[in-house]
Each structure stands twice: as structure tokens, then as C-alpha cells.
Amino acid sequence: MASLVEMGVGAIDLVGPEHWPLLKKYNIHCSMCQGAEISLTKGWNNPIYHNQLIENYTKMIPLVAEAGYTNLICFSGNREGMSDTEGLAHCVAGLKKILPLAEKHGVVLQMELFNQQDHPDYMCDHSAWGIDLCVALGSEHFKLLFDIYHMQIQEGDIIRRIRENHRYFGHYHTAGVPGRNEIDETQELNYPAIMHEILKTGYRGYVAQEYIPKREPKMEVLYESIKRCDV
């Protein structure tokens, strides 16, 4: 943790309440909270999980706000034979039951977009489906976590999608394509250009590095990635 402070890292994604005191000790922000979800595959698109999810998020949302954080992750879940239209309707019905609480506490629920190669059968696998969900919910406290790596694999055209749909994107993840490795010159995404486009939209939140480095030392690789995205 001290190494991150020395590197100037101001935030870490996907940290639950049990580790928030450690972040606060080092004055590092939690840019995406977790701990209310059941799993990536069991999510809001299936009503059999709604009671548990509503209970989990009802408990977690006030904790996120009390800790001084904003973003809380959620997942659509897998299709399991369900149509996208039916799954979207179930997501709307379930999420509407907790959105008033999120709005009251200033917490933003963020549903992550995944690709089908890494997460077969996951429902929120295209930005268009996620945007339809955002529109149906009609709340600034529900956004999409736009994972650039996942969406490059699933649909591509990253910069145009950011230009046209950024109002629905509340957070961003990076990784190199192919391989989900470091975001250097060996992969196909031009991250400085992507970061410039994100900046043009007025976004002032965090962009999280979410990859598995192949080169050593790993902390040096991380620092290179941070510099590459610092535009």
C-alpha cells in the first residue's frame, strides 16, 4: 500500500467494507465499491435473486455513503435461456426498488459490461443493452461501468461509443487487447487517444487499471500504464 502512495495512486477499485479502513489509513479513495453483489452470473436479470440483492444493496448503500464513497458495482447476471428483453424488464423491476435509496444517499449503481469470450452467457454484453436499461430506469444514480477491454472484444469502435454514449458511462476500466495484459505498444488499443476522448466528455472520475501484467517488475508496469493514461 505504501508503494501505491509513493506512486501517486489516489484510488483503488473493487474494495469491500472490510478493507476500507486500510484505504483510509493511506488516504486512498475507493473508486468502485463492492460487496453487495451475489456473483457475476447471479444478478438483477433473474427475479429469483431479487430478494437477496435488495437486502444486500439496502445494507450496503448507506455504508458506501457513510464511508464517503460514491460508486457501487452491480451485475446483470447470465441469460440462462432468458431473452434480453425479459432480462432487461427484470433488471428494471428489481433496481427500481433500491434506486430511491441510492439517490437519497448520493450513491451511483454501476453495472459492468462484459464480453462473451471471457464471460459466456452474461447478459449485459453490449453497450446498447446497457443503455436501454439506463434509459428505462431514468436515474443519474444508475450508470454503466464501461470496461474498454471487454467492449473492444465484444463490439469495438471504442472512441465513437464514448463520444456518443458517455452520458450513460459512469466509470472506466482498462486492459490490453489481446490478452488482458499491460496497456503498452504491444496491443491494439491506443489508450492515450481514448483517454483524450474521455476527457473531452467532461468526465473527471477515475479510470481503473484492471489487467494482468506479463512483464516484471509489476509495479513499474503499473506506473507505466498510469503515465500512459495521464493526459
Q: How far is it, in rounded angstroms, from Cα 38 to Cα 46? A: 12
CB 69 within 8 A of CB 108: no
**How far from the centroid of its chain's Cα atoms is residue 218's Cα?**
23
SS3 of residue 175 by DSSP: coil
**Stretch among 58-62, 140-144, 185-189 having the lowest mean pLDDT:** 185-189
Q: For 190-226, what is each residue's pLDDT tens digit?
A: 999 999 999 999 999 999 999 999 999 999 999 999 9
Task: Report how many domains make up the chain.
Answer: 1
| Model pTM above 0.95 | yes
State residue 8's pLDDT score: 84
**Stretch among 2-11, 25-34, 219-228 having the lowest mean pLDDT:** 2-11
Q: Mean pLDDT throughout 70-75?
A: 98
SS3 of residue 162 by DSSP: helix
- The strand pairing partners of 72, in sequence order, are 33, 109
Alpha helical stretches, state H, 109-217 = 127-137, 148-154, 158-165, 191-200
CATH classification of the domain holding 206? 3.20.20.150
State residue 171's pLDDT score: 98
CB 29 within 8 A of CB 75: no
- The overall average pLDDT reported for the chain is 96
Nearest to 151 by CA among 182, 115, 195: 115
The one-letter code for the residue type at 31 is: S
Q: How far is it, in rounded angstroms, from Cα 6 to Cα 49? A: 42
CB 196 within 8 A of CB 172: no
Domain of 152? Answer: 2-229
